[in-house]
């Protein structure tokens, strides 16, 4: 029976988080980043459950006690971690066409094309399954695929980037037709929208689509847009927007496009530009969490996301510390659809 990849805005059981610790790349800025995870867990727990994977459960418990999180909705599980990017090593849930059975797919994770160690993170989904976290079966898939590299509309359309999915550092044995064949079989996808343009300076992921363009209800795409002709991103993001304008819905109509504002450049202590993006938001039951960067355009970004998700509470979360390791809010979370958690 044909599978279906649920859209992120469909009902959820909870969200997976991985807690930062001193053996991760967060070590130099741990005091800055832990409060972000504390606030993130607290906000998610207002709406649904939080599953926290921690190398040091006691440290996570200590942080959560300070968070004001609804503790009956927070569960901490012990497992060794390389890092905290749950979007990319967490499970991807699919359902049968009749919606009666869920399955978690455990794709291979190789540290964004062998850039970083990932041996422990690649085992997280299986360890959670073996520990009884899930109410549904888990199946391993022999394809390197990160959750941040694909967007699904819940109706069989996948939005992605050629730079990431067709790069030689993930699945060099597969061309575009080969990748589509696997995603068609595993995710039930029958339409693919490939972006040839779009990237953020400082991004380690080879242009994950969740930093650039996101599906929203009603055949809507929310996307980053650079309005500064002097910025190094201006031309490539203009070409990306032209591509988005050329895409058509299943009914043959243009997508409704909602541009996101362009924040001022954010740099690390050595002056290297970091990939601050408002597109890296997380959809929850009844809410959307949006990354903010202490920027004058933060409020404008919240308003744009609210237009895409009417009726949901839109909440800004200071993610400036997260971009110090080249990711943001969506990158450190993975939603678990309704029926997944035990």
Residue 249: CB partners within 8 Å, gap ≥ 6?
Answer: 219, 255
Question: SS3 of 47, please?
Answer: coil
pLDDT band at 287 (very low <50, low <70, confident <90, very high): very high
Which helix (H) or strand (E) segment is 289 a member of? Answer: strand 287-292
pLDDT band at 52 (very low <50, low <70, confident <90, very high): very high
Give the tens place of pLDDT for each residue, 25-37: 999 999 999 999 9
Mean pLDDT of 9-19: 98
Q: DSSP for 93-138?
A: EEEETTSS-EEEEEEE--HHHHTS--TTGGGHHHHHHHTT-BSS-E
Task: Report, as residue numbers or ranges, the catalytic residues.
Answer: 331
Q: What does the alpha-carbon distance between residue 289 and residue 50 come to, in Å, rounded to a whole number? A: 14
For position 1, what pLDDT does the model report? 53
For position 48, what pLDDT does the model report? 98
Give the tens place of pLDDT for each residue, 106-121: 999 999 999 999 999 9
* Nearest alpha carbon to residue 291 among 283, 281, 299: 281
* Nearest alpha carbon to residue 71 among 85, 60, 55, 84: 60
* Domains of the chain as residue ranges with CATH: 3-337 (3.75.10.10)
For position 68, what pLDDT does the model report? 86
For position 263, what pLDDT does the model report? 98
Share of the chain above pLDDT 70, in %: 99
Which helix (H) or strand (E) segment is 50 a member of? Answer: strand 49-54
Instruction: Give the number of other CB atoms < 10 A from CB of residue 306.
Output: 16
Mean pLDDT of 163-182: 97
Mean pLDDT of 217-238: 98
| Sign of the torsion formed by the C-alpha atoms of 257, 263, 269 and 273 | positive
């Amino acid at each position: 029976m044909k599978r279906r990849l649920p859209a992120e805005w469909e009902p959820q059981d909870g969200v997976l988080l991985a807690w930062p610790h001193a053996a991760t790349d967060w070590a130099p800025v741990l005091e800055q980043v832990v409060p972000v995870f504390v606030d993130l867990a607290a906000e998610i727990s207002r709406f649904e459950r939080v599953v926290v994977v921690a190398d040091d459960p006691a440290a996570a418990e200590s942080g959560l006690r300070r968070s004001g999180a609804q503790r009956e909705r927070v569960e901490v599980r012990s497992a060794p971690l390389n890092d905290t990017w749950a979007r990319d090593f967490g499970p991807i849930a699919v359902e049968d066409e009749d919606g009666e059975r869920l399955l978690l797919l455990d794709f291979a994770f190789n540290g964004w094309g062998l850039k970083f160690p990932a041996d422990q993170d690649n085992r997280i989904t299986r360890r959670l399954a073996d520990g009884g976290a899930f109410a549904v079966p888990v199946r391993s898939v022999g394809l390197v695929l990160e959750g941040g590299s694909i967007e699904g509309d819940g109706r069989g359309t996948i939005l992605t980037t050629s730079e990431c999915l067709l790069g030689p550092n993930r699945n060099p044995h597969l061309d575009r037709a080969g990748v589509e064949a696997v995603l068609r079989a595993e995710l039930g996808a029958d339409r693919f929208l490939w972006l040839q343009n779009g990237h953020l300076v400082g991004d380690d992921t080879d242009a994950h689509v969740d930093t650039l363009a996101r599906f929203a209800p009603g055949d809507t795409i929310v996307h980053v847009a650079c309005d500064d002709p002097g910025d190094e991103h201006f031309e490539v993001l203009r070409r990306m927007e032209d591509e988005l304008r050329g895409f058509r819905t299943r009914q043959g109509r243009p997508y409704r496009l909602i541009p996101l504002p362009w924040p001022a450049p954010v740099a690390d202590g050595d002056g290297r530009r970091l990939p601050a993006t408002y597109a890296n938001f997380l959809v929850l039951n009844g809410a959307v969490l949006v990354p903010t960067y202490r920027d004058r355009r933060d409020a404008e970004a919240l308003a744009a996301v609210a237009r895409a998700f009417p009726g949901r509470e839109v909440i800004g979360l200071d993610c400036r510390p997260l971009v110090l390791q080249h990711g943001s809010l969506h990158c450190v979370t993975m939603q678990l659809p309704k029926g997944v958690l035990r």
